[in-house]
A and B are shown apart, each in its own frame.
Chain A
């Protein structure tokens, strides 16, 4: 279980997150929405430990693995998908199951790109590569920033199917999005951030 208590984060004199409380059980999906610059990414970075916060606490059950995928490419540009994944697996002290890797390539419909360095990928395919990483690394919580951006309708459909299948395997996902209507069908809860505070809605 993830529990966030009274989290506060400010940049210079601007308070981005003010007294935020949040909790989430395992095997759930939660979407975070809000206008540009409202603090969605900052919240994800705070709970994944990438950004320090002013006060409050973030607690996970012990031995929880999590993965943070930002809205950027998240790649080593000179590597192929397989090489990139293997390098990342080493950073996360994990091994890759190659059968699972090839299955994921099929599911994401990017098998023909497997020998191409990632720097030549289109934005949509880079987005698919992010999900490929998430499908092949072992984690309990996935924090992913704007997963539906740059995807076509088919891509969004694949992402939603995979998110749902990951959830059924007991994985928890928190993502930020502007695609509120697209997200409703897969989320257990949705949160909107306004004036640095959380407004929670159960879907």
Chain B
């Protein structure tokens, strides 16, 4: 197992390295996310801004949009100058490349989510401990979002299909993820009893596991034309 772990860590490092060096990076995504948040903060009266349910809805809409951008950027880097053939002709297992993309995008999306949350906390004076309590939720949700996102992106970006189909198919599939994440995050912020949300946690876990397992099995086939 050791060589696999080493290989996976090398690939994850590659993804972060490319994210840092690339013109398509997390900075633009965070900027986009904060712009959306500013729109919320400046377009609602003060009484509405502090209404956590409005922010909660906004947060997950921004997360869904950011995940689309993140997935598109990751593949655009490879396709802009056609390096994907050189990468995917290598002898390493393509499921490792999928896992490296999944883990790195998950962490990047978590950072974007925390940035949005911290900016909101800064404006509203909400307790900062909430940010820490939401991290496990972000990580679990992102596995489902990114896992399904990568697969749907590859299905909708072949030579015979149209790329606009990606968000069209992606959004309906992730709606259960967004609804349940939104329920849990609202519960965590208002500090409701966590046992009320066990069903939602299990649905998120199912999506995360499905995303990972389908990705491991299908990524190699989908990446080939």
Contacts and interface: CB of A to CB of B under 8 A. Distances in A.
Given A50-B224, A51-B224, A91 B90 contact: yes
Contacts of B87: 88, 91
Given A92-B91, A92-B92, A74 B22 contact: no
B129 interface: no
A48 B92 contact: no
* Residues of B contacting A: mostly: helix
B85 to A, nearest CB: 5
B224 A76 contact: no
Interface residues of B, number: 27
Given A50-B224, A50-B225, A70 B92 contact: no
B7 A93 contact: yes
Interface stretch (B12-20, B39-47, B114-122, B168-176): B12-20
A65 interface: yes
Contacts, number: 84
A53 B97 CA distance: 23
Interface stretch (A31-39, A77-85, A101-109, A151-159): A77-85
Contact of B224 (A52, A66, A72): A52
B21 A83 contact: yes
B2 interface: no
B13 to A, nearest CB: 7
B91 to A, nearest CB: 6
Contacts of A78: 21-23
Interface stretch (B74-82, B184-192, B210-218): B74-82
A171 to B, nearest CB: 16
B1 interface: no
A119 interface: yes
Given A52-B224, A93-B92, A68 B11 contact: no
A48 B85 CA distance: 9
A139 to B, nearest CB: 9
Given A51-B225, A87-B18, A90-B13, A74 B89 contact: no
Given A51-B225, A68-B86, A74-B81, A91 B21 contact: no
A49 interface: yes
B48 interface: no
A93 B10 contact: yes
Interface in B40-88: 77-78, 80-83, 85-88
23 contacts: A45-B85, A50-B89, A50-B225, A52-B224, A52-B225, A67-B86, A68-B86, A72-B85, A73-B81, A73-B82, A75-B81, A75-B83, A76-B21, A78-B22, A88-B86, A90-B11, A90-B13, A91-B14, A91-B86, A92-B91, A93-B10, A118-B81, A133-B86
3 nearest A-B residue pairs (beta carbon): A72-B82, A68-B89, A73-B81
Interface of A: 45, 48-52, 65-70, 72-79, 83, 87-88, 90-93, 118-119, 133, 143
Interface of B: 7, 10-11, 13-14, 17-18, 21-23, 77-78, 80-83, 85-92, 97, 224-225
Given A88-B86, A92-B91, 9 more contacts: A48-B85, A50-B88, A50-B89, A65-B91, A74-B82, A74-B83, A76-B21, A92-B90, A92-B92
